Structure 1
Amino acid sequence: MRNYSFDVLKLFLALLVVFIHIHVPWREVILPLTRCAVPCFFMISGYFLYNLDMENMKKKLRKGIMRMLYIISLSNMLYIIPWLNHYMKMSDSFQLGWGDVAHFLILGIPLFNPEGVHLWYLQAYLYVLIALYVLLHKSYFNRILSIAVPLLFISHLLWKHIVPMFVTDDTLTFAFLGYFPAYLSIAFPAVGLGILIKKYQAKINCYLDDKDCWILLIVSVIMCYIESFILRTLGIVNAGDILVFTPFVAFALVMITLFTPMRSSNVMSKWGEKYSLYVYIYHPFVGFVIGSIREDMPPFMGSVYHWFSPIIIFFICIIVSMITLSIQNYLNTHRVL
């Protein structure tokens, strides 16, 4: 039976992602918490990828790879629009070369920045699906997963958190910090952890209950805020996309969701199930469109948007997602495509 708590969690995570990319005066207050959104999305994906039947899991992976190729293609086409707008205004600053294409293919760095920078998530997930599909054909799949998950998380911690404490942002070493691709440092270990949670759920439940997970969540969130405060006070640049305790926050959220299942759907679960991915894809584009007309807003409306833009954009994205799905359903029903 479906656990609708996961859909509610996905909706909450989608809102947190909007807060990451849409600036608001009080953004710093919530930013340490928002870091958990993407790793948690990856963990949820990994959890639902796992299947005891390896052939069924391979089918899931093949289907996921084709779906992600389709989504990545359409998403990049969408973000050509704001990129062209920037290019026409500042052509020297918005050039694309073979180096950018190489970074796109090898490191998973999006092409059409700045609005399209968040699309790294989609490409990272695609690469993880491909890697899992290849590894699944090997007898040592489980062993690799069990070793790679902690090893890659620790490597991310050392490379993106410890090293910046000892180098300045104008050194060659700092420049190399970006050459630890997100699909290795975040996506693979997070998806892998989701798979391991599903595989060893019964054993995990012997050692943890919902109370333990709530304590872990609260302590980890507090530690994220303490870490963020220390980094800001010491003037240390956080070169990573996550904080040290972010994986623990994401893990706790997934476990709490498992311990508190919802067996009937509501509006929030339906929105999370249908629209969370669309919100992730659309929100910077919606921000770009509103930003282009912001100067023409009445003062009061502009002030409201200034203080609550992430929430406003979130709900606009929900509406746009509804329209998108309606169009897709119409095209599928009438076999237009």
Structure 2
Amino acid sequence: MGESRKYPRIDAFRLIAALFVIAIHTSPLRSYSPYGDFIVTRVLGRVAVPFFFMVSGFFLYNSKEIGTSKILNFIKKTTFLYVISILLYLPVNWYMGYFKGKMLAFRLLRDIVIDGTMYHLWYLPAAITGAAISFWCLRLLGLRKALIVTGLLYLLGLLGDSYYGLIENIPGLGSFYMGLFHIMDYTRNGFFMAPLFFLLGAVIRKYRKTAEKISIWMLLCGILLMTLEATILRDIGVMRHDSMYISLPLVMFFLFLLLLKKEGREFKSFRTISMAVYIIHPLVIIAVRGISKPLKLTEYTVNNSLIHFLVVAAGSFLAGIVYYLAANKLTKERGRTHVVYENNK
């Protein structure tokens, strides 16, 4: 029989993770403290996407038998969501001149498969690729060896991300990454970043009783370590990007275990709302900027970074709630229609 445990903290943290994603794209403290904004968006905010990867891994790899059908179903659903998201942002791509310029076919292929056709959509192809790589590593190698392989992939990604400045001038290694960046914009993608976090979800599923031994102080020490790491890397000027840190997997391990400590009712609505917020929030950013200009509110709702963040967050969550209610109503109506049809057969 399937497992019936529910994890309300996991569902609740989905909303917090969605808020972090909005913060990354709006920089809420920029007007007040650049370093404070760096901590919120480039350190704390970097738990958001790995969290979503780990949630997927935690629920995908929840049995000793790793079934192909379960992974294929996940990939199918994520691909469908990705296609809808691509279509949703086509007008924005068109307005921004995305379809002009040279090598359009190559850029389209690269962005659809790796980078995403909008700056936030990289998560969806990364989830698809990360699920596939982690699945085959787990199936062919077993959990321990799969962790080593995905850990090495993460290390390769790390050197092309926040540690890039340390290796870019090393003969051979620097040219390897220069070639890599002709294929992809960043290394925080489904090939280097996502597989490890999918498998960390599987590890925690297997050893979740460890959650009882984890304290908040372990997480706080991990966050302090990541803050120190990020600050040093920023100050010495070696970061090409800031999505991957050595201490990030450790922070995610402690965070996820803490979220498992309390069992209770589930909040399915939070799952739908958080994903809707993730997909929709750039449109809300565009709408806030577009509406603010004719109303002469730009000084307050755009230039003031904190107010801008709050307005975008409120608009995004409102849109997410409306989407959830509409989708829920449609599902219920389809269910009633099906029952009536079956009864009239």
CA-CA distance at 1:58 after TM superposition = 3.3
**Counterpart selection for 1:285 from 269, 280, 283:** 283
- State how far apart, in whole Å, the 1-side matches of 2:302 and 2:141 are: 57
Equivalent residues of 1:177, 1:239 under 8 A apart:
no
**Which residue of 2 is the match for residue 82 of structure 1?**
92
**Counterpart selection for 1:249 from 251, 257, 261:** 251
- Unaligned 5+ residue runs, structure 1? none
CA-CA distance at 1:28 after TM superposition = 2.1
Equivalent residues of 1:217, 1:249 under 8 A apart:
yes
Secondary structure of 1:185's match?
Answer: coil
Equivalent residues of 2:151, 2:196 under 8 A apart:
yes
- State how far apart, in whole Å, the 2-side matches of 1:285 and 1:75 are: 11
Residues 298 and 174 (structure 1 numbering): CA distance in 2 closer, same or farther, change over 3 Å? same
Equivalent residues of 1:20, 1:34 under 8 A apart:
yes
Aligned residues: 315
Identity %: 22
- State how far apart, in whole Å, the 2-side matches of 1:122 and 1:131 are: 14
Give TM-score scaled by structure 2 length: 0.80
User: Which of the two has greater helix per residue?
Assistant: 1
Secondary structure of 1:273's match?
Answer: helix
CA-CA distance at 1:74 after TM superposition = 0.4
**Which residue of 2 is the match for residue 129 of structure 1?**
131
- State how far apart, in whole Å, the 1-side matches of 2:131 and 2:245 are: 24
CA-CA distance at 1:158 after TM superposition = 3.6
Question: In structure 2, what residue type is equivalent to 1:19?
Answer: A
CA-CA distance at 1:83 after TM superposition = 1.4
Secondary structure of 2:260's match?
Answer: helix
* Bigger RCO (CA 8 Å, 6+ sep): 1
Question: In structure 2, what residue type is equivalent to 1:190?
Answer: F
CA-CA distance at 1:42 after TM superposition = 0.7
Deviations 1:96-127 (A, max 9, x none): 61111331355x1123xxxx111111111112
**Which residue of 2 is the match for residue 37 of structure 1?**
48
- State how far apart, in whole Å, the 2-side matches of 1:91 and 1:233 are: 37
**Which residue of 2 is the match for residue 14 of structure 1?**
18
- Unaligned 5+ residue runs, structure 2? 338-345
Equivalent residues of 1:156, 1:240 under 8 A apart:
no
Residues 95 and 33 (structure 1 numbering): CA distance in 2 closer, same or farther, change over 3 Å? farther
Check if 1:225 corresponds to 2:227: yes
Check if 1:65 corresponds to 2:68: no
Question: In structure 1, what residue type is equivalent to 2:50?
Answer: P
- State how far apart, in whole Å, the 2-side matches of 1:135 and 1:303 are: 45
Residues 158 and 172 (structure 1 numbering): CA distance in 2 closer, same or farther, change over 3 Å? closer
Question: In structure 1, what residue type is equivalent to 2:81?
Answer: I
Note the 1:86-105 alignment, pairs <5 A: 86-87=96-97, 97-104=104-111
CA-CA distance at 1:238 after TM superposition = 3.4
